[in-house]
């Protein structure tokens, strides 16, 4: 008596579960991804990947390697293990420099974001003639060279500069000082320069986000009696969460890695009142010939920047808490 071979249903792939209930072999996600990848497409991105590996990944790896050595760039390095990192965390001057960077976050990140929100909200409601030119002028500090900005503001804030001249003309001569040469005003003055540089970027980002908001939402809020302030906090501000996240990431990164603006205005002075970690990285690497310690400090600064950026992303990430919209017209959304 012959036994008929089991037949497979037409249209059933070999890897799917069969009608008899037997489990089929499932392919791992990584294996499935690699098998579906078109390897010929990698040839198009190979130059960019090579450039990234040579000029980004390799220098980072070399910096990590140097951070475990006492190395002056000329003689043979001596293995010190975690000694450079211990010196970074135990040096009170480096801790003070890190505190200066954290204080600059107020001027380089918080104030520009607030100013950008205020300007973007006002421009979205008030009809401004020549808005394109006005917006370009406000964004101009962002595209200027940091050296040009530093030299210009160094002359403006000098003891005999225009800022003190205006204060004397207004009868406020008792408030005049050497803004970048005084221990109490040097760091806030540099912070205000950073605010002036960064607020234009935030404003442009927020304006692009406001344009994408559905205008019918504002019309419905106005019919319900909402005023300009209520509209801003209930509609505009929640809709700008992605732009706020991008603005904070860019401004925080600029604040923590800032070097050229401080170097060309105060060089860390007076004393050490405006020193930041990036300044010590430059001094240890190119002046004190301590490449190992400079590399360790650079790695620590990079980790701090990544942690702060991660916190910003987790805090401002989109949450799927609103009603779901149907993909097809005529169907009801599920909440």
Torsion angle in degrees (nearest 10) through CA of 12, 14, 16, 19:
60
Note the pLDDT tens digit of each residue in 290-324. Answer: 999 999 999 999 999 999 889 988 888 765 444 33
CB atoms within 10 A of CB 99: 11
Note the pLDDT tens digit of each residue in 236-270. Answer: 999 999 999 999 999 999 999 889 999 999 999 89
Query: Which residues are CB-neighbours of 268 under 8 A, at least 6 positions away?
Result: 262, 274, 275, 276, 279
Q: What does the alpha-carbon distance between residue 103 and residue 89 come to, in Å, rounded to a whole number?
A: 19
In tens digits, what is the pLDDT along the chain, a chain of 335 residues?
444 545 544 444 444 444 444 444 555 566 666 666 666 777 888 899 999 999 999 999 999 999 999 988 888 889 999 989 998 888 888 889 989 998 999 999 999 999 999 998 888 877 767 777 888 888 888 888 889 999 999 999 998 999 999 999 999 888 899 999 999 999 999 999 999 999 999 999 999 899 888 888 888 888 888 888 888 888 899 999 999 999 999 999 999 988 999 999 999 989 899 999 999 999 988 888 899 999 999 999 999 999 988 998 888 876 544 433 333 334 444 43
| pLDDT at residue 325 in the model | 39
Assign domain 92-316 one CATH number from 3.30.360.10, 3.90.1150.10, 1.10.3720.10, 3.30.70.890. 1.10.3720.10
b/e sequence 54-63, b meaning 16+ C-beta within 10 Å: eeeeeeeeeb
Give the pTM: 0.78
| pLDDT at residue 28 in the model | 58
| pLDDT at residue 226 in the model | 83
| pLDDT at residue 31 in the model | 61
Q: What does the alpha-carbon distance between residue 89 and residue 209 come to, in Å, rounded to a whole number?
A: 41
Choose among 84, 143, 127: nearest CA to 281.
Answer: 84
């Amino acid at each position: 008596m012959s036994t008929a071979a089991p037949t497979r249903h037409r249209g059933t792939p070999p890897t799917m579960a069969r009608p008899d209930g037997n489990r089929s072999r499932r392919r791992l996600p990584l294996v499935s991804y690699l098998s579906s990848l078109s390897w010929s497409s990698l040839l198009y991105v190979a130059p960019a990947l090579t450039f990234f590996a040579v000029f980004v990944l390799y220098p980072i790896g070399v910096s990590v390697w140097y951070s475990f050595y006492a190395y002056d760039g000329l003689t043979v390095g001596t293995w010190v293990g975690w000694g450079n990192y211990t010196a970074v965390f135990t040096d009170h001057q480096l801790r003070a420099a890190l505190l200066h960077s954290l204080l600059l976050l107020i001027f380089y990140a918080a104030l520009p974001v607030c100013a950008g929100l205020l300007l973007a909200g006002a421009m979205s409601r008030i009809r401004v003639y020549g808005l394109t030119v006005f917006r370009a002028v406000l964004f101009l500090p962002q595209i200027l060279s940091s050296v040009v900005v530093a030299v210009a503001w160094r002359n403006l804030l000098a003891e005999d500069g225009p800022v003190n001249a205006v204060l004397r003309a207004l009868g406020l001569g008792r408030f005049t000082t050497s803004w970048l040469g005084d221990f109490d005003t040097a760091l806030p003055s540099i912070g205000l320069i950073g605010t002036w540089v960064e607020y234009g970027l935030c404003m442009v980002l927020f304006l692009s986000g406001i344009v994408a908001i559905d205008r019918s939402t504002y019309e419905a809020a106005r019919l319900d009696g909402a005023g300009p302030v209520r509209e801003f906090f209930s509609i505009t501000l929640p809709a700008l969460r992605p732009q706020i996240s991008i603005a904070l990431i860019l401004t925080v990164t600029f604040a923590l890695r800032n070097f050229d603006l401080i170097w060309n205005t105060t060089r860390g002075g007076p004393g050490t009142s405006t020193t930041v970690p990036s300044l010590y990285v430059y001094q240890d690497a190119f002046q004190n010939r301590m490449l190992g310690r400079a590399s360790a400090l650079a790695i620590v600064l990079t980790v701090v920047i990544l942690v702060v950026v991660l916190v910003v992303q987790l805090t401002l990430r989109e949450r799927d808490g609103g009603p779901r919209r149907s993909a097809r017209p005529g169907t009801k959304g599920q909440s």
